[in-house]
Structure 1
Amino acid sequence: MDHKLANLVPYSRPATPGIHSSQTIGFIGLGSMGFYMARNLAKRAIPPGVPPTPLVVWNRTIDKSQKLQNQLGKELITIAKDIDEICSCDILITNLSNDEVVKDIYGKLARVLKLSPPVKTKIFVETSTILPPLAGELDVLISGLAHSHFISCPVFGRPNVADKAQLLLVMAGDYRSKKEVAYLFVPAVGRKVVDLGENVEKAPTFKLLGNSMILGAMEVVAEAFTLGSKAGIEPERINDLIGDILPAPGLMGYADRMMRDDFNGVDGFSLEGGIKDASHVRRLTAQYGAPMPIIDIAHQRLITARAIHTAQKEEGTETLDLLDWTALIAGSRVAAGLDPFHSRKRKAVVEEA
């Protein structure tokens, strides 16, 4: 085994190195993250002399599937006409927007496979950010199918990180299935695997813990930008300070977007996704009796930003169709009497005598 890869994947290689060339892989959900994950998976390194097996993709709207096929060609991408067709794949990967969609898709997959039970091993890989109990429900559902295994594998990273195949992968579930998927995903989709054992609920819990750290840090940074604006300190100065004292690449990227008032969610993580994740974290804090006050505040900020954006849409004054979750700073700005989305539109600081 390559020594460097051994440090990134906490499992020995499967009996046959890598995924068997004859195995078919399906990918459901070509959103802002799934598109890049599927693309990189289709382009993964194949042993010399082995013809590539096309990645089978399905999305609720076919335009994204067609876009991916146009980019890579029919040799690497096959478009499934429906759920029934993609169910024939040996490994099925899902990356979906929210828990409701996840439940709906897995329910449809299970119904198809109950009518036509698998005759060989099939692995389901759920990569979305969902509530932990839902992962448990999916495990029970899939385990009830012949020869089928489920693993939970949420990912850390924005779309630009997915684009570069640098996602952090968190896995929980059937051990042998994790081994197969880990060597399929690294380095094609992500840079490293974190193993959380066989309890599939641990991986989404871990993901939500990580997102709570990110969201909490974003709220602190948003408040600092807002106070700086009120005090007459240029946002560029504050952004430089963040780089000097809190030089975390992810946080610096979010801070940079706030500084530039770049809240376009098309190439980022959507505001709705942030609200969903904050809500999930709050449910965990209630379940375990472990309060996270800063997440409560951040959740309020996100909802405020959505309300402002909705009002702008109704008035026809909005400039963006989809907001990035860094728009949570709008709540802090409005509370301080500033423009929600344009930091330069502010009153000069006036010191009272």
Structure 2
Amino acid sequence: MSDVLLSPKDKKDTLPYSRPATPDHGHRVGVYGLGAIGYHVAKNLANSLSSLPLVVYNRTVAKSEKLAKELGPNKVSIVQSPAELVDSCDIIFTILANDEVVKSAYKQFYQALQATPSGTVKIFVESSTIYPTVAGELDNLISSVSHARFITCPVFGAPAVAAKGLLIAAMSGDYRSKKEVAYLLVPAVAQKVIDLGGNVEKGSAPTFKLFGNSLILGTMEAMAESLTLAEKAGVDSSVALTLLNDLFPAPIMTGYADKMAHDRFDGTQGFSIDGGIKDASHIRRLTSELNSPMPLIDIAHQHMLTARAGHISNTLQGTAKYETLDWSALVSGVRVTAGLAATGSGSHTGVVLDE
């Protein structure tokens, strides 16, 4: 995702809502999920809040403790359970790994709401990449409780972009809740908010997120195939990258191409291949339901599976370089199908053509 801020003259497009009644954000804000993106979101939110510390919960408490140590007790408060997070906060963000984890979290939220009814509005902001129908289920669950509101707010951008507060957020759901959350996010966490209307399931932010990820994944697959062809033909990877950068000078493309060309597949510094496979599965399910074929995504899905299988084998043998792979490692799946080693870009012998 581009790390260039939007022009100030586009303010109405950056924040498509009028300023809320409480522009100083006098809410108690919480975050559940301190993964690769969630950690930076939480950090930027904590630094932006003027009065109350950010409340955080993570299943691995060491991540919460790391954030609290980094920012100090005046900025971060740790709770020990999802129920305590709900009891403590007015606005709760969830940024979690997959649909099942998200559904489990919201079941606990619902139980907490039932056990301790609130007289004030609580807004739940789901920022994970989930299937649209799951968003509908969560909305029905949370909105059945008095004074509880649910909106979806997936974000676009790699961890490095999140660290700079330059994510792009897409929102669906209750209008007043979106307005409150949008002014929390911009400019602390996101550079822009896109409004996808009131329905959290159909034509919604979760669907839009899958559309956006299909663009990224399809582009990566095309680049992986072209870079592999160039390598087999004996074209130096640095020369191939130079042309790609000249033709398509978009940071998201050049960044992933650079990772592919230099085997920089550390998933802890980017988007994990497990997440990529999950998102590709969601996209493929959506294409099946809508009869809208995307063969490039089908192929990318297979190449990520190949890459992950190779990584698992290497892990068992004790030769894996990374704890988890970045989804750009799909190029290793392309290389294997082309008869090359999965890694070691630049070391393969090119085809010698007859004169």
TM-score range, shorter chain: over 0.9
Letter of the 1:26 partner, please give it: G
Q: Does 1:33 align with 2:32?
A: no
Task: Kindly state the Cα deviation for residue 347 of structure 1 after the two structures are TM-superposed.
Answer: 2.8
Aligned to 1:286: 288
Rounded to whole Å, the distance in 2 between the matches of 1:158 and 1:125 is 20
Rounded to whole Å, the distance in 2 between the matches of 1:175 and 1:155 is 18
Cα deviation digits, residues 124-162 of structure 1 (max 9, x gap): 000000000000000000101110100000000000000
Rounded to whole Å, the distance in 2 between the matches of 1:200 and 1:7 is 20
The one of 17, 20, 24 equivalent to 1:14 is 20
Rounded to whole Å, the distance in 2 between the matches of 1:77 and 1:86 is 13
Query: Taking structure 1 as the reference length, what is the TM-score of the superposition?
Result: 0.95
Letter of the 2:128 partner, please give it: S
Structure 2 counterparts to residues 95-110 of structure 1, below 5 A: 95-110=95-110
Change (3 A) 1:315 1:57: same
Letter of the 1:58 partner, please give it: Y
Rounded to whole Å, the distance in 1 between the matches of 2:119 and 2:196 is 29
Aligned residues of 1:338 and 1:345 also touching (Cα < 8 A): no
Change (3 A) 1:273 1:53: same
Aligned residues of 1:45 and 1:188 also touching (Cα < 8 A): no
Aligned to 1:126: 126
Equivalent residue of 2:97, what SS?
Answer: coil
Rounded to whole Å, the distance in 1 between the matches of 2:323 and 2:24 is 42
Rounded to whole Å, the distance in 1 between the matches of 2:128 and 2:338 is 35
Q: Does 1:194 align with 2:194?
A: yes
- Structure 1 runs (4+) deviating above 6 angstroms are none
Task: Kindly state the Cα deviation for residue 17 of structure 1 after the two structures are TM-superposed.
Answer: 2.2
Equivalent residue of 2:165, what SS?
Answer: coil
Q: What do you get for the CA RMSD once the two structures are aligned?
A: 1.3
Aligned residues of 2:303 and 2:330 also touching (Cα < 8 A): yes
Cα deviation digits, residues 149-200 of structure 1 (max 9, x gap): 0000000000000000000000000000000000010001100000000011
Q: Does 1:56 align with 2:58?
A: no
Aligned to 2:277: 275
Letter of the 1:25 partner, please give it: V
Equivalent residue of 1:87, what SS?
Answer: helix
Structure 2 counterparts to residues 49-198 of structure 1, below 5 A: 52-88=51-87, 89-198=89-198
Aligned to 1:208: 210
Task: Kindly state the Cα deviation for residue 312 of structure 1 after the two structures are TM-superposed.
Answer: 1.2
Task: Kindly state the Cα deviation for residue 321 of structure 1 after the two structures are TM-superposed.
Answer: 1.2
Task: Kindly state the Cα deviation for residue 45 of structure 1 after the two structures are TM-superposed.
Answer: 5.7
Equivalent residue of 1:70, what SS?
Answer: helix
% identical equivalent positions:
52
Equivalent residue of 1:197, what SS?
Answer: coil
Aligned to 2:4: none
Aligned residues of 2:234 and 2:349 also touching (Cα < 8 A): no
Aligned residues: 345
Aligned residues of 2:236 and 2:346 also touching (Cα < 8 A): no
Letter of the 2:222 partner, please give it: V
Task: Kindly state the Cα deviation for residue 311 of structure 1 after the two structures are TM-superposed.
Answer: 1.2
Task: Kindly state the Cα deviation for residue 6 of structure 1 after the two structures are TM-superposed.
Answer: 3.5
Rounded to whole Å, the distance in 2 between the matches of 1:279 and 1:305 is 16
Query: Taking structure 2 as the reference length, what is the TM-score of the superposition?
Result: 0.95
Rounded to whole Å, the distance in 1 between the matches of 2:319 and 2:71 is 38
Structure 2 unaligned segments of length 5 or more: list them.
1-7
Cα deviation digits, residues 49-100 of structure 1 (max 9, x gap): xxx2000000001000000000100001000022221112100110000001
Task: Kindly state the Cα deviation for residue 339 of structure 1 after the two structures are TM-superposed.
Answer: 1.2
Aligned to 1:321: 323
Aligned to 2:252: 250
Rounded to whole Å, the distance in 1 between the matches of 2:174 and 2:189 is 20
